[in-house]
Structure 1
Amino acid sequence: MQLLSSSAILLDAVARAGSFRRAAEALNMSASAINRQILNMEADIGLPLLERLPRGVRPTPIGERLLADIRRWRREQALAEGQLRELTGQRRGAVSIGATECFSTAVLPDIIRALWQYHSGVEASVQIASTEELVRRLVAKELDLALVFNPPARFAADIVFRLKLRPGLVMAANHPLAGSRNLRLANCLRHGFVLPDSSVRIHEFIESAFREAHIEVVSPLKSNSIAMLKSMLRNAELMAILSIFDVQTELAHGELAFLKIEDSKLEREELVIAVPSNRRPSPAAQAAIALLRGALTDIASTQSMTENVS
């Protein structure tokens, strides 16, 4: 079922490729044929849609506006086609899930396997991105649902699940403090901290906690890679402050320990499952949401670090 004109599809392909030649190679067409169709489209509209440059093309402002509409129409067409296939029994549904990196190895694989087990035939798409990018894709209705940490106050999406949880101390399983109870930040300073840098959402929570506790920390390493921080913890008497969801795989393998900070000034992070506003989740998306609610609540409650589950 093709509701968009071939010219509109070609315009999108050329804009994404950045040149007629690269688009032609991808589509197995001649560059001149593609150019001719787009020239006819520009003639019909009476406005230029692409700026022809010495080394490629770029959309004009009018072209950008039209491309945004074309891409939205293509997403809506794909959604309609999927719904029709579900109604005719040709497919058991599809779901596109967005999440941050920490869910890619520990939570989402189990959720996808459960979906396949209880809802055979479901087609799943998982996109891993930053919180900012997930918010953008969700608002643009490019995702069916997303797991988002600390969403912006003005969030043009519907929140169907909310969990507040406090980060904890993470260290090697054989760290001298790994078996401790009633840990305070001040007790940990001699061991040193590796910390997420300012590009990671949890950074501001950690900085605020140290300020509130009147503690000045000089970290030997800051990084935007949680994986690197965890790797540094395995063979050193260092510590980190991370979310319980950052270390699920390592906890399961007995490599790291996750401890509550008794006198923590750390604010609780907010984790939400959000869906596009004004769009009812498909049966496959509803099934994924139900599985995620259960899994996230179980993980968080095991550590007794939560409040306000809804």
Structure 2
Amino acid sequence: MSLISPAALLFDEVARLGSIRKAAEHLNVSPSALNRRILNLEEDYGLKLFERLPRGVRLTAAGEVLIADIRKWKADQERSKVRLQQLQGLRRGHVSVGLMECLAGDFARTLFNDIQARFRQFTLDIFVGGTALITEKILNSELDLAVCFNVPDRHNIHKLKVVEAPSGVIVSKEHPLAGRSNVPLSECINYPFILPDFSIAARRLIDSALGASGVQTVPSLVTNSTGLMKRLIADNRHIAFLNAGNLMDQQRDAGLEFIPLAGRLLAPEELSLITRSSQGLSSATSAVVDLIKAQMDSLPIAPKSA
């Protein structure tokens, strides 16, 4: 159903064809009935809208003003239809997202709440794992999107957004290092420490930094769970080599703090929003991409690219 009056549409058709007879044939109405509608329209406006010519009609100055408005209304209505169709397409949809463990709290909850608030009939799968496993699932089309650290550059992985997370250590607020603006790597090894295992991409960066510093030491624990690492450093003795992005849950991480490493031995980590390069994004997935990008912009880590 058109929101534009039938009279306006008839008027536009006569103006387009320059003939009441031709417009009547096209609209499957009688010429006399169409002419009456035009005369009534002219009477309503109190102005002649067409000049009657031997072989048709021509718009008057008043008619030119009116036809410009009618065609603008039609164009606006078409744009509205497109937007409504897009919105209708977003009412239903399913998106699968992979997240690192550190994102499975406030980040995941905010994403879920935003989707529920805007797109009530969306369904969402969230898979939690390490970068290697998440990346594999993206490549196998088991996930539509993923947010993870230190994604390797590959031709079949498309990075939709990247932010940098400073590298350093996480300690309890009662630890002797707490409150420092930064700490040298050489000083970190004076304390028992916990390392991520090789399923977490940061481990290679950490080993490289420790090797470059000439440090020979053994960690107290190696684990694939950043959550466990953070729980264990609550003993006020241990430290954990983790980036700033691992302290994203304000309540859960309230007793912890991040301390950047001094110098450049340990490079910043990259948090990336990724998809498979060959995968076209559905309207539902594109909507979720926008929500995730907005969340990444709000993280306490500086954007590298967007």
TM-score range, shorter chain: 0.5 to 0.7
The structural deviation recorded for 1:145 is 0.9
Give, as a single letter, the amino acid of the residue that structure 1 aligns with 2:298.
D
The whole-number CA distance in structure 1 between the counterparts of 2:107 and 2:90 is 29
What is the DSSP-based 3-state SS (H/G/I as helix, E as strand, rest coil) of the residue aligned with 2:305?
coil
- Counterpart of 2:97 in structure 1 is 97
Q: Deviations over 1:140-177 (max 9, x none)?
A: 22222111322233241322112233322100122122
Does residue 179 (structure 1) correspond to residue 179 (structure 2)? The answer is yes
The whole-number CA distance in structure 1 between the counterparts of 2:87 and 2:304 is 38
Query: Structure 2 stretches of 5 or more lacking a match?
Result: 1-84
The whole-number CA distance in structure 2 between the counterparts of 1:282 and 1:117 is 19
Q: Deviations over 1:100-153 (max 9, x none)?
A: 222112311111111111222221111223322222221222222111322233
Give, as a single letter, the amino acid of the residue that structure 2 aligns with 1:254.
A
Give, as a single letter, the amino acid of the residue that structure 2 aligns with 1:309.
S
* Mapping of residues 51-200 of structure 1, within 5 Å: 91-200=91-200
The structural deviation recorded for 1:218 is 2.2
Question: Is contact 2:155–2:277 with CA below 8 Å preserved after alignment?
Answer: no
The whole-number CA distance in structure 2 between the counterparts of 1:180 and 1:295 is 28
Question: Is contact 1:185–1:264 with CA below 8 Å preserved after alignment?
Answer: no
Structure 1 runs of 4+ with >6 Å offset: 85-90
The structural deviation recorded for 1:91 is 4.2
Query: Structure 1 stretches of 5 or more lacking a match?
Result: 1-84
| Cα separation, partners in 2 of 1:128 and 1:208, compared to 1, 3 Å | same
How many residues end up aligned between the 2 structures? 222
Give, as a single letter, the amino acid of the residue that structure 2 aligns with 1:294.
A
What is the DSSP-based 3-state SS (H/G/I as helix, E as strand, rest coil) of the residue aligned with 1:230?
helix
The structural deviation recorded for 1:97 is 0.8
The structural deviation recorded for 1:213 is 2.2
TM-score by length of 1: 0.64
- Counterpart of 1:222 in structure 2 is 222
Does residue 213 (structure 1) correspond to residue 213 (structure 2)? The answer is yes
288-297 or 167-176: bigger deviation:
288-297
Give, as a single letter, the amino acid of the residue that structure 2 aligns with 1:95.
V
TM-score by length of 2: 0.65
190-199 or 228-237: bigger deviation:
190-199
Question: Is contact 2:168–2:259 with CA below 8 Å preserved after alignment?
Answer: yes
Give, as a single letter, the amino acid of the residue that structure 1 aligns with 2:191.
H
* Mapping of residues 31-70 of structure 1, within 5 Å: none
* Structure whose alpha-carbon radius of gyration is higher: 2
The whole-number CA distance in structure 2 between the counterparts of 1:291 and 1:199 is 28
Q: Deviations over 1:56-111 (max 9, x none)?
A: xxxxxxxxxxxxxxxxxxxxxxxxxxxxx989769432211112222112311111
What is the DSSP-based 3-state SS (H/G/I as helix, E as strand, rest coil) of the residue aligned with 1:216?
coil
| Cα separation, partners in 2 of 1:90 and 1:209, compared to 1, 3 Å | closer
Percent identity of the aligned residues?
25
Q: Pairwise CA RMSD of aligned residues?
A: 2.5
What is the DSSP-based 3-state SS (H/G/I as helix, E as strand, rest coil) of the residue aligned with 2:190?
helix
Question: Is contact 1:160–1:272 with CA below 8 Å preserved after alignment?
Answer: yes
